[in-house]
Amino acid sequence: MIDARIGLDAMGGDNAPRETVRGAVDAVGRDPEIEVHLVGEERSVWAEIEAAGGARDRIRVIHASQVVGCSDAPTDAIRKLDSSIRRGAELVQSRAVDGLVAAGNTGAAVAAATVVIGRLPGVQRPGIAVTLPTAKGHSVMCDAGANIHCKPLHLYHYGIMAAQYARKILGKEHPTVGLLNVGSEEGKGTGLVQKTAALFASASSDLNYAGNIEGNDVFTGQCDVIVCEGFVGNVVLKTAEGLYEVVAARLKELAQGVAAASGEERATSISDLLKRFKANMDWAEYGGAPLLGLNGLVLISHGRSDARAIRNAILQAARSHRTQVLKAMTSDLAASGTRSLA
């Protein structure tokens, strides 16, 4: 029985439509209860489905004649009425699908989804929640770049919604919520951060607010949820990605030197070490980042996504739908008593 129908912008991302289609074929092969609706230029999409082989009884193609490219303005996603990202958002809005995965132009996806799908009651600005690998497992950081003009209420809602996401999707029973700041003591930071801290401090006891968190603790896993404005979240996420790549490359270079100076057997041990290291920190494992605050499920994937990243995002979208996480967020937002502030 099909219990999750997931839309996919087949034309989004650096490697579309080849990798998006492969990811979709792989996803339906792995989860017998999902159906994937590929949105894009139908001839190219069908050609890729042929090329990918595999089962296709739970794959549908919805034609869209236009594409919003990576260098297009976010507003192009609204203006281009027959673009794959806009058509995908319409499928969510009409409930033809239970969730959408998009790996292209993030600004365009946010714009199309916000205009077409609309927001949850009380929410003013959607935020992107990314899952980060930490020393203790995983944490969620919101916002990773959807909203660079944040108000305290926006950040407060990110905390409420991301906590529910951490509960339902990451399985944290009572997730702690930290506010990213330049110091751990109370009263630190900009006016935005200080006013947000006051909102969190006055929140109902259901929210496990842990106060300020500094950059050092983003990857230690000290908090399950990390709240920050989009500019900061975007820069932090991309800096961490870049640093990780530099470290991995340097490590490989050093390993080649050590291996060359050792025997063949030693080289094997080092190569084994590097493989384990890579698997542990691999971003593509964590699939897509949900756009929290929309009245529908939309997951954003990395622009560089390959088939595996797309597959993981589709499977994660299906899991998110099954947990009814949006319903739980709506109820938490209502209980937060901030609708009157909006």
* Residue with smaller CB distance to a second copy, 81 or 254: 254
Q: Does 265 bind a second copy (CB under 8 A)?
A: yes
Any idea what the Cα angle at residue 338 is, between residues 290 and 198, rounded to 5°? 90
Q: Which residue among 42, 119, 195, 244 contacts a second copy (CB under 8 A)?
A: 244
Q: How is 16-60 classified by DSSP, letter by letter?
A: TTHHHHHHHHHHHHH-TTEEEEEEE-HHHHHHHHHHH-S--TTEE
Q: Which residue among 198, 273, 334, 341 contacts a second copy (CB under 8 A)?
A: 273
Q: Which residue among 59, 92, 232, 313 contacts a second copy (CB under 8 A)?
A: 232
Residues in 15-54 that interact with a second copy by CB under 8 A: none
* Residue with smaller CB distance to a second copy, 55 or 254: 254
Q: Does 83 bind a second copy (CB under 8 A)?
A: no
Is-contact 288 303, C-beta < 8 A? Answer: no
Q: Which stretch binds a second copy (CB under 8 A): 32-40, 90-98, 111-119, 264-272?
A: 264-272
Q: Does 264 bind a second copy (CB under 8 A)?
A: no
Q: Extract the tokens encoding 210.
A: 């842990």
CA distance 262 to 266: 6
Q: Does 285 bind a second copy (CB under 8 A)?
A: no
- H/E stretch holding 179 reads strand 176-180
Q: Does 216 bind a second copy (CB under 8 A)?
A: yes
CA distance 300 to 319: 15
* Residue with smaller CB distance to a second copy, 8 or 237: 237
* Residue with smaller CB distance to a second copy, 225 or 326: 225
Three-state DSSP class for 211?
Answer: strand
Taking alpha carbons only, the member of 5, 8, 12, 39 closest to residue 24 is 8
Q: Extract the tokens encoding 131.
A: 């899952």
Is-contact 209 113, C-beta < 8 A? Answer: no
Q: Does 277 bind a second copy (CB under 8 A)?
A: yes
Q: Which residue among 95, 173, 205, 280 contacts a second copy (CB under 8 A)?
A: 280
Q: Does 250 bind a second copy (CB under 8 A)?
A: yes
How big is the site for a second copy, counted in residues (CB under 8 A)? 56
Q: State the nearest-atom distance from the C-beta of 188 to a second copy, in Å.
A: 9
Is-contact 7 100, C-beta < 8 A? Answer: yes
CA distances from 138 to 155, 292, 327 (A): 20, 18, 23
Q: Does 145 bind a second copy (CB under 8 A)?
A: yes
Q: Extract the tokens encoding 93.
A: 């809005």
Q: Which residue among 262, 285, 335, 339 contacts a second copy (CB under 8 A)?
A: 262
Q: State the nearest-atom distance from the C-beta of 323 to a second copy, in Å.
A: 28
C-alpha of 13 from chain center: 14
List the 298-300 sheet strands across, edge first: 59-63, 34-40, 4-9, 99-102, 298-300, 289-292, 127-133, 138-142, 225-227, 176-180, 208-213
Q: Which residue among 126, 127, 189, 296 contacts a second copy (CB under 8 A)?
A: 189
Residue where the block lists tokens 């990314």: 130
Q: Does 243 bind a second copy (CB under 8 A)?
A: yes
Q: Does 68 bind a second copy (CB under 8 A)?
A: no
Q: Does 202 bind a second copy (CB under 8 A)?
A: no
The residues of the shown chain that bind a second copy, judged by CB under 8 A, are: 71, 134-135, 145, 148-149, 180, 182, 185, 189-190, 214-220, 228, 230-232, 234-247, 249-251, 254-255, 257-259, 262-263, 265-266, 269-270, 272-273, 276-277, 280-281
